[in-house]
Amino acid sequence: MISIRNVSKSYGQVKVLHDIDLEIPQSQVFALIGPSGAGKSTLIRTINALEDIQEGEILIDGVSVHDKKTDINKLRANIGFVFQSFNLYPHLTALENVTIAPVNVKNANKKEAEEKGKELLASLGLGDKFASYPGQLSGGQQQRVAIARALAMDPKVMLFDEPTSALDPEMVKEVLDAIRKLAATGMTMAVVTHEMGFAKEICNQIVFMAEGKIVEVAEPKEFFSNPKTDRAQDFLAKVLNH
């Protein structure tokens, strides 16, 4: 589904991704974890070409993401992206946030898009927030609107970059629950996260990154009970001991 092949990326002279290889099969959920500066955000942002790459290629359903001949807008319409800082459109209501892309990108019928948007928002516990502006919503509510906005495009793949890191602790659960439900529907997903419990519980594979490289890929049980590399052992010792 998502094939990342020998991808390298630099900012100027600084190489931040080194020869990344990763295969995410359909309906699987992969967690990307690792210390700050490891390149997790950079990697997940290359998957929908928010970042360019210098070497290698990324294929989604066989379509090359960074190929100049690829219609990037069409491809992105099939990839949902959820940001750490939500990035909702502050001048639009929750419902308009959800319908603006289907109506303008997919030329969806406005009425139908609204019906579907309301359903999505309601399914995420936002049935009474259709007309609210982002500024009137809590962080957890905003992030759920952002998830609804991504889902409104019927994506084949969902990417999350630390979806709960900007949230107050009491709101983390509502967002993780939404992602958990989505995983149960068979959505293919990559999630950058610091929530180890969540990664352990719902992810098929843990991808551990450090210094721009993938250091270890393993099933959660294996990874958390028996990490193979020193880097991963160090990292787990730090994050699990507080």
Partner 1 sequence: MNYQMDWSVITDNFDIFMEGLLVTLKISALSLAISIPIGIIAGLCRISRNRVLSFLAASYVEVIRGIPLLVLLLWIFFVLGKFMKLGSFWSAVIGLAVFSGAFVAEIVRAGIQSVPRGQMEAARSSGMNYFQAMKLIILPQALRKVLPPLASQFIILIKDSSLASVIAVVDLSLVGHNLVATTFRVLEVWTFIAAVYFVITFSLSQIIRYFERKYRVLE
Ligand X SMILES: Nc1ncnc2c1ncn2[C@@H]1O[C@H](COP(=O)(O)OP(=O)(O)OP(=O)(O)O)[C@@H](O)[C@H]1O
Q: Which residues bind partner 1 (CB under 8 A)?
A: 48, 50, 73-79, 81, 83, 85, 87-91, 100-101, 104-106, 133, 135, 149-150, 153
Can residue 143 be called a binding residue for ligand X (CB under 6 A)? no
**Measured distance CA(93)–CA(113) in Å, rounded:** 14
For 107, phi then psi, to 5°, come to: 50, 40
Number of residues that bind ligand X (CB under 6 A): 10
Cα–Cα distance for residue pair 99/85, rounded to 1 Å:
20
Min dist. Cβ of residue 17 to Mg ion (A): 13
Q: How far is the CB of 47 from partner 1 (least distance, A)?
A: 10
Q: How far is the CB of 56 from ligand X (least distance, A)?
A: 16
Whole-Å CA distances, 210 to 74, 138, 184, 242: 32, 33, 29, 20
Residue 133 interacts with which of partner 1, Mg ion, ligand X, none, CB < 5 to 8 Å by class? partner 1
Using the minimum distance from each CB to partner 1, give the nearer residue, 153 or 215: 153
Closest to ligand X by CB, 117 or 163:
163
- 36 forms part of the interface with ligand X (CB under 6 A): yes
- Please, what is the minimum distance in Å from the beta carbon of residue 209 to Mg ion? 10
- Residue 241, phi then psi, degrees to nearest 5: -95, 25
CA nearest to 95, candidates 65, 115, 78, 74:
115
